[in-house]
Amino acid sequence: MSTVKNYLSLIRFSHTIFAMPFAMIGFALGDISLLRVRQWNLNMTVGWGMNIDLLDVGLFLLVILCMIFARSAAMAFNRYLDVSWDALNPRTAVREIPRGIISKGSALRFVIFNCVAFIVCTWFINPLCFALSFVALAVVLGYSYTKRFTPFCHLVLGLGLSLAPIGAYLAVTGHFALLPILFSLAVIFWVSGFDIIYALQDEEFDKSHQLYSMPSWLGKANALHVSEFLHILSISCVVSAGLYGGFGWWYWAGVAVFIGMLVYQHAIVRPNDLSRVNLAFMTANGIASVVFAVFVITDLCLK
């Protein structure tokens, strides 16, 4: 049991709360899309009019597993690759690999297992998802190298998490569409923005070890301005998605909460006061993603 707990801590499993709700939005969009294609030819309805024949529980579980395996591989690989720096940074020296709780070899085997499991799950979904699984892994694993050469590493992290809504939509429908892409763009800018806020804590460490980030490149104040700009772009994407998708008031209530949480996290973090970075990073963004997803899916189900 302690081993499981250690690995869950290694991959910060609680951070799944950021991308998973957007994957659920993508899945719901795909399910609704199929219902429309079949002209609402319902054989049996449950709840809010969803077709029980189309509620593929197996597919839903595969999407959840893909999310878990891909993210676990990415996080463990990041910890494996950065272990020498993590050991030097007082903030990260308590992590499992620097402390010797999990060995580097065990972490690498954990990465390989999750990569293989992710690919196998996509094979059972559809040919397109299987083909794109290798691209997805290249993105989420490749992120770990980006801090070595570009301050735009935050955008690569955002790109990795943005695969959640479009990936779930592809799992259901097997084709691309503009609406889930708009949600993916929202995720890119949202995640990039809050990752910059989180990186404020390591500005001096990154500078002294020639690591790249927005704070180490531009300084705390300017990095926060970049974060604000990215969050404005994220808001524009969710607003555009709402207008394009013709959503109702439930959706716009979710947008209001989402915007409120973005404004809140910028209100509590200052260049000279990072005491509430974790509150902004985890609490505000966790609420933003979960509440927004609940309201979006509710709106979809009530259509």
Distance in angstroms (rounded) separating the CA atoms of residues 277 and 267: 11
CA Rg value for the chain = 20
Range of the domain at 114: 2-302
Q: What is the pLDDT of residues 119-154, one digit of tens each?
A: 999 999 999 999 999 999 999 999 999 999 999 999
Distance in angstroms (rounded) separating the CA atoms of residues 91 and 276: 15
247 Cβ contact partners less than 8 Å away, ≥ 6 residues apart: 241, 296, 299, 300
Q: What is the pLDDT of residues 79-124, one digit of tens each?
A: 999 999 999 999 999 999 999 999 999 999 999 999 999 999 999 9
| CATH number where 289 lies | 1.10.357.140
User: At residue 46, what are phi and psi to the nearest 5 degrees?
Assistant: -135, 155
H-run or E-run covering 27:
helix 20-37
Could you count the other beta carbons within 10 Å of the beta carbon of residue 278? 11
Question: What total number of domains does the chain contain?
Answer: 1
Low-confidence stretches of the chain (pLDDT < 70) are: 1, 34-55
H-run or E-run covering 51:
strand 50-51
